[in-house]
Amino acid sequence: MQYETTGLVASSGAKFERVRELTLQKQLRINLATMAQTVNRLVDDASNGKGFTVFTLNLDHLVKLRVDKAFRAAYLRAKYVTADGWPIVWLARNKGAVLERTTGADLVNPLCEQAAKRGISVYFFGSNMSALQAAASDLTARYPALQIVGMDAPDYGFDPASRAADEAIERIALSGAGLCFLALGAPKQELFADRAFDQCPYVGYLCIGAALDFLAGHQQRAPRWMQKTGTEWLYRLATNPRRLTGRYARSALVFAEMAARQWFKSPHKLLDFSVGDLKK
C-alpha cells in the first residue's frame, strides 16, 4: 500500500453489518436533489465538523444491492444519497421528485473550490499513487489554497473490512481532513466509507468512482454533450465493451423491471427507493 499522510491514531472496532431483516424493511432514499444543494450541504457540514457519507445511486448499484447484504446495509446507513445516472433521475422524476443528476465525478471540482475558500482540508483515497498525485497537481493549480493533507493508494485486492482498511482509517483521522474522496469503485468505496464513518464520524466521506483518474488524465470521460443528454453510457461501452457489456445488460434489465413496476404500481422492496422529501 502506498500512502502520503502524517501518521496514525488509535481507533475502536467497527460494526460492519446489520441483520438481513433490517435491510429488507427499510427503503433506499435519495435526499439531495441538485448539485448546488449537495455542495452547499456538504461544505456546511464539513465546516462545522459534522461527518457524513455520500453515495451516488445508479443502476449498477441497484443490481449489486439485490444480492449484496453488506452493500445494502451501508446504503441504508448513508447520510446522503444523490441520483447518479439518467435512468435513476427518470425513475425519481416519475415518482414526482424535482432533482437533477449529481455524480461523484462532478462533485470533486466544486467541493475542492469551496474547501479551498473555507479552509477545509481534503484527503484522497483509492486509485493509484500516480493518479492521486496528478489529480492533486491539477486541483491545487486550479485552487491554490486547497489543503491536501494526505493521499493513500491501497494495494490491489484491498478489502474494506480488513486490518489494512482500519489502518487507513487511522491515517485519515490523524490527517485532520474534513473531506475524504474515495476512488475505489462500488461496492468497495461505499463499504469503506460506512466503516470509516463508524470509526471516525468527524470526516465527510464521498464516493467518487473514477473521478480522480479523470482529473489525472488516466481515463477519458465522455464529452460534455453526452453527459448532458444521458448518452455517457454509450461512450463508456464503446471504449470498454469487454468489461461493461455484461454490467450494462444487467442494469438494463433492472431499469426495465423498475419502470414496469412503477407503471403497474407494484414496488419491489429490494429495488425501490424513496424521494418523499424531494417531491413538488
Instruction: Tell me: pLDDT of 133 over 90.
Output: yes
pLDDT (tens digit, 9 = 90+) per residue, 244-254?
Answer: 788 878 888 88
Q: Grade residue 164 by pLDDT with cuts at 50, 70 and 90.
A: very high
Q: Which domain holds residue 112?
A: 2-11+18-278
56 membership: H or E segment, kind and range: strand 52-57
Q: Binning pLDDT at 50, 70 and 90, where does residue 269 land?
A: low
Residues 24 and 147: their CA atoms lie apart, in Å, by: 41
Residue 35 has pLDDT above 90, yes or no: yes
At 225-267, the pLDDT tens digits run 887 877 787 777 788 888 878 887 888 888 888 888 877 776 6
H/E stretch holding 228: helix 224-229
The share of the chain scoring above pLDDT 70, in percent, equals 87
Instruction: Tell me what pLDDT residue 22 has.
Output: 32
d(CA 131, CA 107): 18
This prediction's pTM: 0.86
Q: How many domains does the chain have?
A: 1
